[in-house]
Amino acid sequence: VVMMTFLTCPYCVKAREVLNANNIPFEDIILEDLENGALKGPLRAEMGKRYQQTSVPAIFLKEEFIGGANN
């Protein structure tokens, strides 16, 4: 499982809590940390093109978008 997040986003915090509580290993890609935030916009734009999803958290399983905070 790979999850794209913002560090302090309440929905991202909740998603981390749910994954951890269920012992689901995941890679947390914190968008603000990538190139000091410079990749945040381009990555979200690419997510929109590929998955029609730009909000976070964005959760992927084997490179397939499986949902976000509301899924």
Domain ranges across the chain: 2-67
Instruction: Judge whether 59 and 53 are in contact, CB under 8 Å.
Output: no
Which overall architecture, per CATH, does domain 2-67 show?
3-Layer(aba) Sandwich (3.40)
- Segment 51-63 mean pLDDT: 90
| Tokens encoding 40 | 């945040």
Predicted confidence (pLDDT) at residue 24 exceeds the cutoff of 90: yes
Predicted confidence (pLDDT) at residue 16 exceeds the cutoff of 90: yes
User: What's the chain's length in residues?
Assistant: 71
For 29-49, the pLDDT digits (tens) are 998 888 777 778 888 888 889
d(CA 53, CA 25): 23
Q: What is the pLDDT of residue 67?
A: 86
